[in-house]
Structure 1
Amino acid sequence: MAIPDISNIEDLLFVSRLFIPGESRDIVVSCVYAYIFGGQDKLRIIDIADIENPRFVSEIPIDGEDA
């Protein structure tokens, strides 16, 4: 996961990066959390309150029927 600084879209810079193993299919940001749905039927929760130091919070398995 990479967090860009979009204040100057012509000169895009990345503020931080966090390695998340596997495939990521979708991401939703709400308040200080990023919710990442992965290809392995898992929901990963990342704390982005400090965008320069994102932190892995949890990984929740999601049954294909519930997704």
Structure 2
Amino acid sequence: MELVNKLKVARFESFFSIIIGGLVSLSIIITAASVNNKDVNGVIDLAKGLEPLYGNFAIYF
């Protein structure tokens, strides 16, 4: 029974970490895109901010 509880806690911690990491990554991308492009109105504007790094493949990220 102890193992089941530990697995539940580990599952919750993993899920929580992924969500927080995603939010941090998203905020970094939005901030970086808004430095070069004054208006960030959608996903395409975010991709334009990543073009120097990824080139034409930026729209897939």
TM-score by length of 2: 0.25
**Taking CA–CA contacts closer than 8 Å with sequence separation of 6 or more, which of the two structures ends up with the larger relative contact order?**
1
* The structure with more strand, counted as a fraction of residues: 1
* The structure with more helix, counted as a fraction of residues: 2
TM-score by length of 1: 0.24
